[in-house]
Amino acid sequence: MTRQTASRNGKYIYAIIPDSENQSYAFTGIDGRKVYSISNGRLAAVISDIPSTKLRPQRRNIAAHNEVLKKLVEKSTVLPMTFGIVADGPMAIQKILFKNQGALLDQLALIAGKLEMGIRVRWDVPNIFEYFVGNHLELKEARDRLINDGEVTQEDKIEVGRLFEQALMEDRELYCSRVEEVLSRYCSEIKRNKCREEREVMSLACLVGKDVLGTFENGILEAAELFDDSFAFNYNGPWVPHNFVQINLSTGRS
> Exposure of 60 by Cβ count < 10 A (0-12 exposed, 13-18 middle, 19+ buried)?
exposed
Q: Where are the domains of the chain?
A: 2-112, 115-242
Looking at residue 253, what is its pLDDT? Answer: 44
How do residues 212-251 score in pLDDT, each as one tens digit? 998 999 999 999 999 999 999 999 999 999 999 987 765 5
Compute the chain's Rg from CA coordinates. Answer: 24
pLDDT along the chain (254 residues), means of 10: 53 94 95 96 95 80 96 93 90 93 94 96 97 96 83 84 96 98 96 96 97 93 97 95 83 44
Looking at residue 231, what is its pLDDT? Answer: 98
Looking at residue 128, what is its pLDDT? Answer: 97
Looking at residue 150, what is its pLDDT? Answer: 66
Architecture of the domain defined by 115-242? 2-Layer Sandwich (3.30)
Looking at residue 154, what is its pLDDT? Answer: 85
In this structure, the number of other CB atoms found within 10 A of the CB of residue 85 comes to 24
Looking at residue 4, what is its pLDDT? Answer: 43
Q: Are strands 34-39 and 43-50 parallel, antiparallel or unpaired?
A: antiparallel
How do residues 86-103 score in pLDDT, each as one tens digit? 988 899 999 999 999 999
Looking at residue 12, what is its pLDDT? Answer: 94
* Distance (Å, whole) CA 116 – CA 213: 10
Query: Which residues does 212 contact at the CB level (< 8 Å), separation at least 6?
Result: 186
Summarize the chain as % helix, strand, coil (round to 5). Answer: 40, 30, 30
Looking at residue 52, what is its pLDDT? Answer: 65
Looking at residue 67, what is its pLDDT? Answer: 96
